[in-house]
Every structure is written in C-alpha cells, then in structure tokens.
Amino acid sequence: MDGILNILKPPGMTSHDVIQWVRKVLNEKKVGHTGTLDPGAAGVLPVFIGKATKIIPYIHEDRKIYRAEIIFGKSTDTQDQFGQVIKERIPNFSLGDLRYILNTFIGRIQQKPPMYSAIKIKGKKLYEYARQGESIDVPTREIIIHSIELMHHNIPHNAFLNIECSKGTYVRSLCADIGESLGCGAYMGFLLRIGSGAFSISSSYTLEEIESRYIKGLIKNILLPIDFPLGNYPKIHLKESAQKSLENGNSIYPQGIITDIKEYNENTLTMVYCNKRLLAIGKILYEEEKKRYYLKPLRVLK
C-alpha cells in the first residue's frame, strides 16, 4: 500500500501511537507522519504509507491552522491543562485589551519553546530536563503568526482563537505569552489542528472510519496519492527509455527528458514522472563543461 492518510488524531494518543496503530491495523511496516501533535491535542495528522514515506523530507508544511482555547488567570508548568499550576492571578482586562494584545503577536515574532517539549538541546529532550528538575537556557526562535481570529469569548475567563501560524509554532507558549502580556497569565485548555499544509480537517478520517474501510476493502478510496502534498514543486516528465536508468539512481540528461528543463533554475527541486507515475524527487543541476542542464534523482520511489 502506497499513499497518504489524512487522519483525525484523537486526544489521548501520541503521534507515535497513531503510527503504531496504522502499522498494526493495516498490516504495513513503512509508516511515518509529519507535524507531531501533543498527546492531549486532536486534529489533522498526515500519515504516510509505503513509498510515500520517502517524500516526507520534501514536504513544506509552511502553514498550520489551530483552534485553541486560552484560559486566563492561571499559569501551568506545561503551559496547558495537564500541568501543575505555578501561578494564579485574577484576570482584569476588557475585550478591547484582548484584541489589542492579540494584534501585537501578528507577524514575525520570537518564541521560547516550552520546557515540556521534545526539542533536543545538548542531545537531551527538554522534557527530560524538566522532569529531572534541571534548569536550562532555552533559546528563542523566530516563528510567524499569520493571523489570530477571536472566535468566541467569556472575558475575562476564557476565549477561543483560530490561529494560522508557521511550522514550529507552539500554541501552548503563544497562549502563555498572551496571558503574560495581559498581566494575568494563561494556559491552553484545548487544541484542535484544523489544517496542516495541504491537509484539512474537513477531509480527515477517524481511526474508526479507517479501520472500517480497511475491513470492507475500501481503504484505497480514502488513500491520497503520493504527490498530493507536493503541489508546489514543478514537474519533469521522462521518456520511457530513461526510466530504468533513473530508478537505478543515475542522472538524466536532456535526451532522456520530455520537459524543457531550461525553464528551471539550477538547484530547483522537481517531481519526476514517467507515464503519469511519480518516480522520484529530483534536482536540476547545470554542467558547466557541456553547457547543459540535467536531472539528478534525490529520492527514488522504488
């Protein structure tokens, strides 16, 4: 089986748990995912099966969309509802104050990842330091908040936000930072990922739906093609005579290529097809000696 499942991850499972579930239920060995979700969070988790696992390093999930609940007046050590309360303050702000503060987080900002996260520093995951009571300096990193939409609120107690952001954003930390800016602290009470790159929650499937389709022999009806999330890459089409050479890892020169590769710049990443079938992810290079472009396969889907 080769393709992608757009899975609606339930709360209470880690992303790795979902992978193990897919391996067991669908009897597949090669399974991977992109865009890890916290165990308590739910939502879109793209899962790649078979040959599709080979394209994971080339997927640009540049934008994520979340629905999050932010609860004001308390701060927790994990920045979500599952942590220990470390500070409690009475929230005292208006709806106008909240709207103003939300706007200050739009754009390119610096964010410090939470201590309870899987980011590695000096070969050790941050949550391992946190569980051992060790303090460590966590560097900030740049993220992009494209938009924050206030969906519903019960000011000054809680609010529901739609957040569109870059890959690598910790919504938990964003909620905590918003709370600090309001002077009362806050933590994330609920998180649902409703979009991840090309994948949307509207076309996702629960584990129960996937298992039912598999049992009925209908799993292929919901299996997305391998090239589904690669729509931003240009396409290169090969002649049939060049297919075997590419599959053996050899570079392909203009005589074996149907597409005019002169249209592309050097180092352009491309999807490589033959007879409408995706064969590889490749790169356009330039040979100075012979003044010609050629195609080098980076990942062959064998």
Active site residues: 38
CA angle 201–204–208, rounded 5-degree value: 130
Structure tokens at 98: 């909240």
Nearest to 16 by CA among 28, 31, 27: 31
Distance CA(55)–CA(59), nearest Å, equals: 7
Distance CA(161)–CA(163), nearest Å, equals: 6
| Contact assessment for residue 223 and residue 28, using Cβ atoms and an 8 Å cutoff | no
Q: Quick one: how far is CA 176 from the chain centroid?
A: 22
Nearest to 238 by CA among 229, 226, 227, 250: 250
Q: Collapse the DSSP code of 33 into the 3-class scheme (helix H, G, I; strand E, B; otherwise coil) and give the result.
A: strand
